[in-house]
C-alpha cells in the first residue's frame, strides 16, 4: 500500500489506484445528496426517494459526461480507443453529465409521481457544491486551466496551488478555481438570499442555477486554453448561452405558461370547525364525560377549547390516570355520537363550496383526528357525505395530527403525489400538520379564540368564508409552503 504516490492518486493498493479526481467528485455528490435530503424530509418524503435515485443518477451522469467529452475529442479517441474508458485520467464534461442527469431525473420523478420542478429546486443548488468539488479534481489532474501567467501571479496563493499549476513548462491561470469559487457563491446566493427574497414560481431555484452557472461558465470558458471546440467556437460557451436562456424564460414564468406547468391542487379538509360547526357538540360532550367520571372538576372555557386540535388521548391525559383514558374516550364517543343530531350544525356555505369544487374536478379528502364513524355520521348530517370518497379518521391515520402522515396517506389513496396540496383547517394543530409536509395551509375559523392561536402558526392564507376557496384554487402557483426548505 502506498499513500499519495503522486499528485493524481491518493492511495495505491497493488494494481488498484484511488484517485483524487474520483474522491473529490464523490465527495461533492454526497454533500449535494445530503443537502437535498434535508429538504426532502421537511417536504414529507421518505429518505428512500433519494436513496434509490442518487446512485443510478451519478453513474449515468458520469457516463454522459464522458460520452460528451469523447464526442468532441473524437479525433484523439478514434486513434486511442483504449483511452475511452480511462476516466481516471480526466476528461469529464460537466454539461454532458447535466444533460443525462436531467433526462434521468425527469423519468425517475415522474415515475414516482413527484414534481420534477420541485426536485429541480431541491437538487440544483446542491449541484453547484458538487461542481465546486469537481473542479478541484480538475486541479489535481492539471486540467481546466487558462493562459500562461507570470510566477508573481501566485504570490497570493498557497504553494500547493502554485506548484500544481506548473503545466506544460509554464504557470497557468487557475480557471478551475474561478469556477469553483463562483459555484460556491452561487450556492450561497440561491440558498441564503434568492429563495427567501425572490422565489416566485416552482422551479425558480433551478432556473436561477441555470442563469448563474451559465454566465459563470461562459466567462470562465473564455479564459481556458483546453476548451472543447467546434471549429472556432467553444462548445461550452454555446451551451452556456442556451442554459442562461432557459433560466431567464423559467424565472419570467413564460415556460410555466407555455408548457402548462401549473397543477390543480389536491384539497384536504379538517372536519370539526372547518366543514361542520361542532363547538357546542364538543363542549357538551366533554362536560357530560366529566360529570360522570370526574364531577368535582369544573372545566373553564379555555379548558374546553383545548379539546379542539389534539387527540382525545392527549386531551384526557391531562385529567385522568393512564388506565382511565380508554374508558373516558369510549364514553366520549358514545355521548358525542348520540348528540350529533341535536348539536351538530353545518358551517355556512360549506355545502355550496364543496359541491362546486367537486363539480370542477378537484380531488378531495377528509383528514381528521376524529374517529371515522363519528366523522362519517357528521358528514351525513351536514349533507357532505356524497362528496368525499376518502375519509381518514383518527384510527386510520399512521400518526395523529400534527403529523403530516395522514395528509400523505390521503394523497396515496387518491393516487396522486403530495407536491400540490392545500390543507384547510380551523386550528393551530391543522396548520402545523400542513407545515410538517410543507403543504399550502389555509386557516379558516369563525371562532375568534381559535383564529388567534391559528394565526400564530403563520398559515399560507387565512380566509373568512369557505367560498373564498373557489377563487383561491384558480391561482396559478405552486401549492406548497415556499418558506419551508
Contact 336, 315 (CB under 8 A): no
Residues 111-132, mean pLDDT to the nearest whole number? 96
Neighbours of 338 (CB within 10 A): 12
Convert the pLDDT of each residue in 18-41 to its tens digit.
888 889 989 999 999 999 999 999
CA of residue 21 relative to chain centroid, distance: 30
Judge whether residue 4 has pLDDT over 90: no
SS3 139: helix
Residues 176-182, mean pLDDT to the nearest whole number? 96
Question: Which ranges of 295-437 does DSSP label H, i.e. alpha helix?
Answer: 301-305, 312-317, 325-343, 350-359, 372-381, 405-413, 428-435
Mean pLDDT highest for which of 68-77, 167-176, 299-308?
167-176
**Best CA proximity match to 137, nearest among 166, 190, 179:** 179
Q: How confident is the model at residue 226 (pLDDT cuts 50, 70, 90)?
A: confident
Convert the pLDDT of each residue in 57-71 to its tens digit.
989 998 998 888 888
Q: Which of 309-323, 348-362, 395-409 has the lowest mean pLDDT?
A: 309-323
Convert the pLDDT of each residue in 269-296 to its tens digit.
999 999 999 889 999 999 999 999 999 9
Contact 34, 50 (CB under 8 A): no
Judge whether residue 169 has pLDDT over 60: yes
The pLDDT assigned to 71 comes to 86
Task: Supply 369's cell numbers.
Answer: 383526528
| H or E, element range at 309 | none
The pLDDT assigned to 72 comes to 82
Q: How confident is the model at residue 434 (pLDDT cuts 50, 70, 90)?
A: very high
**Best CA proximity match to 122, nearest among 44, 184, 63:** 44
d(CA 102, CA 120): 9
d(CA 435, CA 483): 10
**Best CA proximity match to 466, nearest among 446, 437, 440, 450:** 446
Q: What is the mean pLDDT of the chain?
A: 92
Specify whether the backbone of 430 is left (phi greater than 0), alpha (psi in -120 to 50) or beta: alpha
d(CA 480, CA 440): 4
Strands 345-346 and 233-234: unpaired
**What is the strand order of the sheet 9-13 is part of?**
2-3, 9-13, 16-19
**Best CA proximity match to 414, nearest among 268, 231, 223:** 268
Q: How confident is the model at residue 90 (pLDDT cuts 50, 70, 90)?
A: low
Phi, psi of 215 (to 5 degrees): -70, -40
The pLDDT assigned to 160 comes to 92
| H or E, element range at 394 | none
Amino acid at each position: 500500500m502506498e499513500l499519495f504516490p503522486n499528485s493524481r492518486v491518493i492511495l495505491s493498493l497493488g494494481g488498484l489506484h484511488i484517485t483524487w479526481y474520483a474522491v473529490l467528485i464523490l465527495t461533492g455528490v454526497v454533500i449535494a445528496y445530503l443537502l437535498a435530503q434535508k429538504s426532502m424530509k421537511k417536504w414529507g418524503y421518505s429518505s428512500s426517494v433519494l436513496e434509490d435515485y442518487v446512485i443510478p443518477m451519478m453513474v449515468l451522469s458520469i457516463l454522459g459526461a464522458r460520452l460528451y467529452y469523447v464526442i468532441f475529442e473524437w479525433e484523439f479517441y478514434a486513434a486511442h480507443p483504449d483511452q475511452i474508458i480511462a476516466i481516471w485520467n480526466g476528461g469529464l464534461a460537466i454539461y454532458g453529465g447535466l444533460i443525462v442527469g436531467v433526462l434521468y431525473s425527469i423519468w425517475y420523478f415522474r415515475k414516482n409521481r413527484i414534481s420534477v420542478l420541485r426536485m429541480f429546486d431541491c437538487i440544483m443548488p446542491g449541484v453547484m457544491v458538487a461542481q465546486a468539488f469537481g473542479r478541484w479534481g480538475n486541479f489535481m489532474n492539471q486540467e481546466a486551466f487558462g493562459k500562461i501567467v507570470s510566477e508573481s501571479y501566485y504570490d497570493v496563493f498557497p504553494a500547493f496551488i502554485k506548484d500544481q499549476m506548473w503545466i506544460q513548462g509554464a504557470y497557468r491561470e487557475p480557471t478551475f478555481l474561478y469556477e469553483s469559487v463562483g459555484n460556491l457563491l452561487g450556492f450561497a446566493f440561491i440558498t441564503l438570499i434568492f429563495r427567501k427574497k425572490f422565489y416566485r414560481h416552482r422551479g425558480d431555484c433551478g432556473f436561477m442555477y441555470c442563469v448563474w452557472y451559465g454566465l459563470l461558465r461562459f466567462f470562465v470558458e473564455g479564459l481556458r486554453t483546453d476548451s472543447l471546440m467546434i471549429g472556432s467556437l467553444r462548445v461550452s460557451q454555446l451551451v452556456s448561452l442556451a442554459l442562461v436562456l432557459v433560466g431567464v424564460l423559467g424565472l419570467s414564468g413564460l415556460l410555466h405558461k407555455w408548457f402548462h406547468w401549473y397543477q390543480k391542487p389536491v384539497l384536504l379538509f379538517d372536519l370539526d370547525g372547518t366543514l361542520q360547526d361542532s363547538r357546542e357538540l364538543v363542549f357538551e360532550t366533554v362536560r357530560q364525560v366529566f360529570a360522570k367520571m370526574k364531577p368535582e372538576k369544573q372545566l373553564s372555557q379555555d379548558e374546553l377549547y383545548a379539546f379542539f386540535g389534539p387527540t382525545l388521548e392527549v386531551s384526557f391525559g391531562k385529567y385522568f390516570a393512564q388506565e382511565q383514558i380508554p374508558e373516558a374516550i369510549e364514553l366520549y364517543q358514545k355521548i358525542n355520537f348520540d348528540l350529533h343530531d341535536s348539536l351538530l350544525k353545518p358551517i355556512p356555505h360549506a355545502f355550496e363550496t364543496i359541491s362546486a369544487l367537486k363539480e370542477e374536478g378537484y380531488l378531495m379528502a377528509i383528514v381528521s383526528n376524529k374517529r371515522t364513524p363519528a366523522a362519517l355520521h357528521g358528514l351525513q348530517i351536514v349533507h357532505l357525505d356524497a362528496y368525499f370518497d376518502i375519509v381518514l379518521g383518527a384510527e386510520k391515520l399512521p400518526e395523529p395530527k400534527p403529523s403530516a402522515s395522514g395528509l400523505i396517506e390521503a394523497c396515496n389513496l387518491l393516487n396522486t403525489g403530495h407536491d400540490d396540496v392545500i390543507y384547510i383547517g380551523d386550528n393551530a394543530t391543522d396548520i402545523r400538520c400542513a407545515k410538517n409536509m410543507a403543504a399550502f395551509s389555509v386557516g379558516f375559523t369563525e371562532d375568534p379564540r381559535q383564529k388567534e392561536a391559528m394565526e400564530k402558526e403563520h398559515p399560507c392564507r387565512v380566509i373568512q368564508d369557505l367560498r373564498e376557496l373557489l377563487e383561491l384554487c384558480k391561482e396559478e402557483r405552486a401549492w406548497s409552503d415556499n418558506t419551508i426548505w
